[in-house]
Amino acid sequence: MKITWLGHSAFRLDTAKASILIDPFLTHNPGFVGLDLKDATAGVTHILLTHGHGDHVGDTVRLANETGATVLANADLAAWLGSKGVSKLEMGNTGGTVAFDGFTATFTNALHSSAQITEDGVSHALGNANGLMLHIDDEPSLLHMGDTDIFSDMKLINELHQPDIGLVPIGDRFTMGGAVAALACQRFFEFQTAIPCHYGTFPIIDQTPEKFVAGMEGTKTKVETPKPGQSLEV
How much of the chain exceeds pLDDT 70, in percent?
100
Q: Of 165, 99, 101, 169, which is closest to residue 129 (Cα–Cα)?
A: 169
Q: Compute the average pLDDT of residues 24-44.
A: 95
Query: Class of 2-226 per CATH?
Result: alpha beta
Could you tell me whether strands 115-117 and 142-144 are parallel, antiparallel, or unpaired per DSSP bridges? unpaired
* Distance separating alpha carbons of residues 109 and 95, to the nearest angstrom: 8
Is the pTM here over 0.85, yes or no? yes
* Distance separating alpha carbons of residues 212 and 102, to the nearest angstrom: 32
Q: Of 205, 209, 211, which is closest to residue 227 (Cα–Cα)?
A: 209
The helix or strand, by DSSP H or E, that contains position 64, with its residue range, turns out to be helix 60-67
In Å, what is the CA distance from 17 to each residue of 20, 111, 138?
10, 31, 11
Domain residue spans in the chain? 2-226
What's the length of the chain? Answer: 234
Q: Is residue 227 very low, low, confident or very high in pLDDT (cuts 50, 70, 90)? A: very high
Hey, which bits of the chain come out as E strands?
2-5, 11-14, 19-22, 46-48, 70-74, 89-92, 97-100, 103-109, 115-117, 123-125, 130-136, 142-144, 165-169, 193-197, 222-223, 231-233
Q: Is residue 214 very low, low, confident or very high in pLDDT (cuts 50, 70, 90)? A: very high
Encode burial over 147-182: b for 16+ CB neighbours within 10 A, e otherwise: bbebeeebeebbeebebbbbbbbbbbebbbbbebbb
Task: Please say whether the beta carbons of 60 and 47 come within 8 A.
Answer: yes
pLDDT digits (tens, 9 = 90+) for 96-154: 999 999 999 999 999 999 998 877 777 889 999 999 999 999 999 999 999 999 999 99
Q: What is the pLDDT of residue 116?
A: 85
